[in-house]
């Protein structure tokens, strides 16, 4: 079981991803925008972060940039949610040093398998 932070401005995505991750046995925290995400990140430590790419205010890319600078979150795996239209965003996201991305609409199997792979890799490194 891992502690996961979900960041997305769209309620439907939050609910869907939350339901999927909960069913997979993870502890899920949600944030409706980048500011809330940063607040929660200041209080808790997460094993993995799932964030939307395009959000008003702090965008997903800015969030990732910020996280990669922070001591605590530098090595936290990040999965980005992108749209099919935002092909360029995927490239941008990879440049922003995310660990993986999932194209919306979320396919539960893809999301779970990607997250589990990342978590395994992280725990392998840790141990």
Partner 1 sequence: MTKSALATRFLTKWGFTLAITGFAVLVAMASYVVFEYRNFARLEIHTNEVISQLRQLEASIERAETSQRGYLISRQLSFLQPYHKAVYLVSQELTDLTQLVADNPLQVWRAKNLDRLIDERIQKMETIIDEASRLPMSQVAKHIDTETMNELRTEIGKMETEELNLLAERRKYSQRFSALSIVFLIFGGLSAFLLLIFSARLIRTAAKRNMEQSSLISQVFDSMTDGLIVINKDLVVTHSNRASDLITEKKLRGMTLAEVYSHSRPATAGDAPADIDYRNSSLYRALRGETVLRFEVTMGNVDRKLISVDARAVVGEDGEIVAAFCTYQDITQRRATEDEWRNAREAALQASRLKSDFLATMSHEIRTPMNGVMGMATLLLATDMTNEQESYVKTIKGSADSLLSLINQVLDHSKIEAGKLELDKQDFDLSGVIEGVMSLFRYLARSKNIDLKIVSDPAVPPALHGDPNRLRQILLNLVGNALKFTERGYVEVLIKPVDDTGHKLEFSVRDSGPGIPPDKQSHLFQKFSQVHDSKFVKAAGSGLGLMISRELVRVMGGEMGVESAVGVGSRFWFTAVFEVAKMASLCEWKPKGGREPLNGRILVAEDQVVNQLVIQKFLTSFGLECVIAEEGGAAVERAQSEHFDLIFMDCRMIPMDGYEATRRIRAFNKIIPIVALTAEGVSGEKRLCLEAGMNEVVNKPVDIDQIYRLLQGYLNKPDYDESQLDKLAEYESEGKSLIETLSEDFFTNGKALVVSLEESVRAGDLEKMKHYAHALRSPGLTLGLAAFAKLCAELEETGPGYDQIELRSKLDRLNSLYNRACGWLRQQTRSSKVS
- Choice between 91 and 107, CB closer to partner 1: 107
**Which 3 state secondary structure label does DSSP give 30?**
strand
Binding region for partner 1 (CB under 8 A):
10-13, 15-16, 18-20, 23, 54, 56, 83, 85, 104-109
- Burial (0-12, 13-18, 19+ Cβ within 10 Å), 56: exposed
What are the backbone angles phi and psi of residue 73, rounded to the nearest 5°? -105, 5
CB of 74 to partner 1, least distance (A): 30
- Choice between 17 and 98, CB closer to partner 1: 17
- Choice between 11 and 39, CB closer to partner 1: 11
């Amino acid at each position: 079981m891992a502690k996961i932070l979900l960041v997305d401005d769209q309620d439907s995505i939050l609910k869907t991803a939350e339901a999927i991750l909960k069913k997979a046995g993870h502890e899920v925290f949600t944030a409706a925008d980048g500011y809330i995400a940063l607040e929660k990140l200041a209080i808790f430590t997460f094993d993995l972060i799932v964030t939307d790419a395009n959000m008003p205010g702090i965008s997903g890319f800015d969030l990732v940039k910020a996280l990669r600078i922070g001591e605590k979150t530098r090595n936290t795996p990040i999965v980005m949610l992108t749209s099919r239209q935002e092909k360029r965003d995927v490239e941008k996201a990879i440049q922003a040093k995310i660990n993986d991305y999932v194209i919306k609409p979320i396919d539960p199997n893809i999301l779970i398998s990607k997250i589990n792979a990342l978590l395994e890799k992280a725990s392998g490194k840790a141990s």
